[in-house]
Amino acid sequence: MADHSSMMKQWQFTRSGKPRNILTITEIPIPTTCPDDELLIKISYVSLNSAIVHRLMAYRGVLDPVGAFRTRPSVPEKDFSGIVCDLRGANVKGFNTGDRVFGMGPTAFREIGRGVLCEYALIKQDSLVKVPDDISMKDAACFPVAGITAYCFLMEKAQLKKGDKVFINGGSGAVGVMVIQLARTIVGPTGLVVATCTAAKSDAIRNLGADEIIDYTAHDLPAFLREHYSSRPFDAIFDTVGSDHVLYSSSPAYLTPEGLFCAIGLVDFGSTVWAGTKRILQLLSAMMVPVYLGGVPRRYIFEPLKVSHARMVAMAKLVEDKAFKAVIDSTYKFDGVLDAYDRLVSRQVIGKVVVEVNADHD
């Protein structure tokens, strides 16, 4: 009989599909060995990511060719907070047993099978930072992916400054709520922050720092932007929802000539091979076709999130300085993960859906 003190629970999958249809919970041994640059973390909270759901549901592996042929169990999710255990690699420095930490599990969770929707996880030290003293473990789990994404695109790529005008498409999502808050902090009271969401979410998004709200369900978005913002064009556009290509192709009407169009994170590739191929061609056109060959005369960037220790530290400093706060839509117990994913895919969410794995550390 297994020694249950040496076992842990994890959620896992072996095929593509909706989370409720493919995820199962099981017990496996807690790791007893550790690579030189990793630590064993006892997970406190995990926050769910929409991009993970899209990877779980990838159309027959067309957009996920490596993960499609994986047959061994894989554990989903990346964002977490937790406590450093005794088990640490020989090269790990700066962390002690009992430290409160937050960070990201492997980005390629599906290929290597190691996500963080489990009770214990091995995490690389460069993907970890300590939780600021006045931040709860639940809040900390909400920041890693969305916080680093907001930092990278607003501060490194767009280099926003005071007085700038910013448009955020998808203001109520996990990334959107972070981008709104950080944009508000950067552009200051003389700047303009405009965001999209449904009417039901408008008050919550306005309270995060948006000056103006556009109900995307009530308007043709490019046409509305052309009509209302051509006389006061944006300095940067942040598309967090992977909208149709026309939002970018129409952007000269409402984005300054020096402005930047940022496609942040997830892009909607559709549910068929043809739709995915068409979207990929549109992305390549946006990124590579010069103006003199018919390209859109506005800068465009789309790139996957690259995690580094420097970016983790910068994100943690923003959290410590209250540049943004966690926005938690709902919290579920570890055995309620399927309900948590149902909530996430309902499109009613504002901010993050959080799973409580071990709340004893708060």
194 & 282 share domain = yes
- Residue 196, beta-bridge partner list: 214
118 and 172 fall within a common domain: no
Round to whole Å and give the CA distance between 67 and 111: 5
258 and 283 fall within a common domain = yes
User: Are 58 and 128 found together in one domain?
Assistant: yes
Q: Label residue 98 left, alpha or beta by phi (over 0 means left) and psi (-120 to 50 means alpha).
A: left
Res 297: pLDDT: 87
CA 327/CA 202 separation, integer angstroms: 14
pLDDT tens digits, one per residue of 132-178: 999 999 999 999 999 999 999 999 999 999 999 999 999 999 999 99
Residue 213: pLDDT band by 50, 70, 90 thresholds? very high
Contact assessment for residue 248 and residue 273, using Cβ atoms and an 8 Å cutoff: no
Q: What's the domain range around 198?
A: 146-302
In a domain, 362, yes or no: no
Tell whether 234 and 89 lie within a shared domain: no
Q: Tell me: pLDDT of 305 over 80.
A: no
**Could you tell me how far CA 288 lies from the centroid of its own chain?**
25
Supply the pTM of this predicted model: 0.89
Residue for token pair 């309900």: 339
Residue 361 included in any domain = no
Q: What's the DSSP call for residue 271?
A: S
For residue 303, the model assigns a pLDDT of 72
Q: Are residues 173 and 53 in the same domain?
A: no
> Is 171 within the bounds of a domain?
yes
Cβ–Cβ under 8 Å, residues 177 and 350: yes
Q: Which of 121-135, 192-206, 209-223, 258-272 is least confident?
A: 258-272
Q: 325-345, pLDDT tens digit by residue?
A: 999 999 999 999 999 999 999
We report the CATH number of the domain holding residue 165 as: 3.40.50.720
* Structural domains counted in the chain: 2
- Is there a domain that residue 71 lies in? yes
